[in-house]
Amino acid sequence: MAKLRGRGIAAINYPTGMNLGGDPSQVVIVAQPDGRLVVNVASVELGQGIKTVLAQIASEITGVSVEDIEVRFGDTESAPHDTGTFASRSTHRMGNAVVKASEEIREIVLNTAAKMLEVSPRDLEIREGRVWVKGVSDKSVEVKQVISQAQFTYNTPVVGKGFYVKPKSSVDPETGASDPHSTMAHGCTVAEVEVDTETGFVTVLKVYTVYEVGKAINPQLVESQIIGGIVMGMGAALTETVYPRYPALDFQTTSFRDYILPTAGDIPEIVAKIVESPTPTGPFGAKGVGEMVVNSIAPAIVNAVYDAIGVQITDLPITPEKVLKALKQKEAAAKS
């Protein structure tokens, strides 16, 4: 009996969004009397950080600070239509809609500031939360003040509307060609494992992973998604099953006391890298990353187990029972 080590690799290309009937996102940004902005979105935050990312996008274009932008989710009575949070689409689809809505806000800000500063809008620029007259270091006004004055002094509604949709791409009946996706992201994962040939347990020792995500609008959130995806993928590869003795249906898991999820103590050393190659279709070049980061870890672990024991196990999860059974069959085959 021994503890054998192996290394496995898996690569992935992953599309952003769906090709259903167009997969639209729509956004309305409404200014508050004090100059803050409220971004109304009919989708939801699932913990992936889209609330922060959308506020960052709106801030970059309007000049209003991130702290003064509120993103409201889930109220379909006050927000326009959105297909939803799925298919790694939120940053790309909703982000593009926020870009357009923010550009309308930006135009209102520049036109209003031009009246306040008595210059042409073409002579203005927005930076550091203020509207500046280009080349004049002492002539500027705070963006929040401009937005407030637009409403109270110039009787101008400060509202921005934005939408994004990629039209459905039908399949060419002659060639089978189609253009179903807005963009493709890419990734590669290497896993190092140790297999205990006495107990059958597989331990993930280290994971190296790199993802090309277009533009990482918030690199810390992207890295967090990558780490979360690795942990989720480890569960799929090694522990999570409803029927642990399938095709037999006995010992079915009925609660999270039986359904084994990886916890903090199971997380291996992780080396994660982000590669940026902006796509022309995304907001500031961003692609979707949410689902992609879950998918490459399981095949990398499977290949690492094969490298360690010389048996390819294709039925997930790779439980200790399956490892011991595979080793026994390998030994029997060697003797025959």
Residues noted as catalytic: 291
The single residue listed with the structure tokens 């889209």 is 50
Nearest-5° Cα angle at 102, 96 to 105:
155
What are the C-alpha distances in Å from 117 to residues 106, 139, 254, 298? 16, 8, 67, 60
HSE value, Cβ hemisphere, 13 Å, CA-based, for 83? 22
Q: How many CA atoms lie within 13 A of 46 on its CB side?
A: 14
Is the Cβ–Cβ distance between 176 and 170 less than 8 Å? no
Residue at token pair 């930006």: 106
Residue 136: both structure tokens together: 């004049």
235, 261 in Cβ contact below 8 A?
Answer: yes
Q: Is the dihedral of CA 58, 64, 66, 68 positive or negative?
A: negative
